[in-house]
Chain A
């Protein structure tokens, strides 16, 4: 901004899956921009929450929570409201993915994947909207995936959950568009985070870059920039849109 103040200054942001690769990078970036960040995750961030930093930046709060537990989500959002007084941003990064051949997919794994990746998004959006509506301001970014469109081997459960996220986001976007609440999604291609290392070796992961038009896999920073674009006023006329950050790996 012209006066050097970030537009994210003093915004209250909730990031689910904020201990993971992309979520944590968004948390740290928003912290630098002066936002008040609350992370909700099953595990605390590997490098700490930022509470330890003695700088002038606002601290990042950590709430241990399972996004798939309705009661826990309600209670945790209430705690953030009590501490911060408002919720401006919701960024849903919480997701699980264990690559599994279709015939080996157990009903439990299928359900757990949909519970976290899709139902968790629903529960968190519902809580956030409840607190955003009275103030007529809100920015929501849900992480989908390139696989929602392209599908992928060993990922029927994950692709289905991420496809569901697109439908959820668009419908919610339509419902709240008149209340100055914008809802958009990001669909990353394969990204350099701990997550894909669950089923790919280091070599396999980086080798994926060769088949991508821009010649590399995604970086966490690519997703952070896209997310900040969707949270900020540069995307003021965007809602229900999917930002596909995949190096050209999928063109639709």
Chain B
């Protein structure tokens, strides 16, 4: 295990489940000190439990990424406690399903706020530290739906596409500071978020549908995405910025 100042500090939002949890576990395994947040305290505790069980180092707090003050305070705490922020995985997200004509404005705004404004808050807070140090890398969770359409998820698709645009803008703005910013566009991945789009009873049918529809004939696992974030938050990708990497089983190619 890497220790002392050499160990990287990685901040991960939405680390209480799914992609955030799998990535936190993976980055802690490679020796990063991970600072995690989520709205769900229990989920967060479970992630801590796995990482500490593996002998890793994790800290964290319940933070609503929509609350810019809370995000700033938390990032300041992380820097105070761990000395720096090397990497950020801006991943916190929610989903819902509704045809546009029935969608409440609050439901539209909840997704835009959480994904887009939430990512803005977290990136801004982390970038202050990264610019000071003249290094850093960020990965933002976008989606295949930044590229293709999705029925009954206009708010989700709009939010994820906004995040892709945000990623590209950040990449250009912060490249002179030697900070790289990339997005991931996962296809369907077996996470609580994906499962929540239907009832538990429907799940097995949905899995079979994914297997029939996806070129790779299998539903993605959170580890399929965590490995990509691992690559993007490392020197191995030091010439990649502003890009969308899509672990999607071949669902979209462009």
Q: Which residues of A contact B (CB under 8 A)?
A: 170, 173-174, 177-178, 213-215, 218-219, 222, 225-226, 229, 233-248, 251
Contacts and interface: CB of A to CB of B under 8 A. Distances in A.
A174 B225 contact: no
Given A173-B250, A246-B239, A213 B217 contact: no
Given A213-B172, A241-B245, A245-B239, A235 B217 contact: no
Given A229-B236, A248-B175, A238 B253 contact: no
Contacts of B238: 222
**On chain B, which size bracket covers the interface?**
35 or more
B249 A237 contact: yes
B249 A244 contact: no
Contact of A235 (B171, B187, B227, B253): B227
Contacts of A173: 215, 250, 253
Given A173-B253, A238-B247, A251-B171, A244 B227 contact: no
Given A215-B176, A237-B220, A248-B171, A174 B239 contact: no
28 contacts: A173-B253, A174-B215, A178-B215, A178-B216, A214-B175, A215-B176, A219-B239, A222-B238, A229-B236, A229-B237, A235-B227, A236-B224, A236-B227, A237-B187, A237-B220, A237-B225, A238-B245, A239-B250, A241-B253, A244-B240, A244-B243, A245-B239, A246-B239, A247-B241, A248-B171, A251-B168, A251-B171, A251-B172
B228 A235 contact: yes
B91 interface: no
Nearest to B220: A237
Q: Is the interface of A mostly helix, strand, loop or mixed?
A: mixed
B176 A240 contact: no
Contacts of B240: 222, 226, 243-246
B23 interface: no
Contact of B246 (A174, A229, A236, A238): A238
Contacts of A239: 215-216, 249-250, 253
Which secondary structure characterizes the binding site on chain B? loop
B250 A177 contact: yes
A248 B241 contact: yes
Interface in B214-244: 215-217, 220-221, 224-225, 227-228, 230-231, 236-243
A84 to B, nearest CB: 27
Interface in B68-118: none
B140 to A, nearest CB: 13
B236 A225 contact: yes
Interface of B: 168, 171-172, 175-176, 178, 180, 187, 215-217, 220-221, 224-225, 227-228, 230-231, 236-243, 245-250, 253-254
3 interchain residue pairs of minimum CB distance = A213-B175, A240-B253, A237-B224
Nearest to A171: B253
B19 to A, nearest CB: 12
Contacts of B217: 177-178
Contact of A251 (B215, B228, B243): B243
Contact of B230 (A234, A237, A240): A234
B215 A248 contact: no
Contacts of B242: 213, 248, 251
A44 to B, nearest CB: 29
Contacts of A245: 239-240
Contacts of A174: 215, 250, 253
B247 A237 contact: yes
Contact of B231 (A234, A237, A248): A234
A45 B180 CA distance: 34
A32 to B, nearest CB: 15
Contacts of B171: 213, 248, 251
Contacts of A215: 175-176
A233 B26 CA distance: 14
B173 to A, nearest CB: 9
Contacts of A244: 240, 243
Contacts of A241: 245-246, 248, 253
Contacts of B245: 238, 241, 243
Contacts of B175: 213-215, 247-248
A219 B168 CA distance: 22
Nearest to B227: A234
Nearest to A187: B243
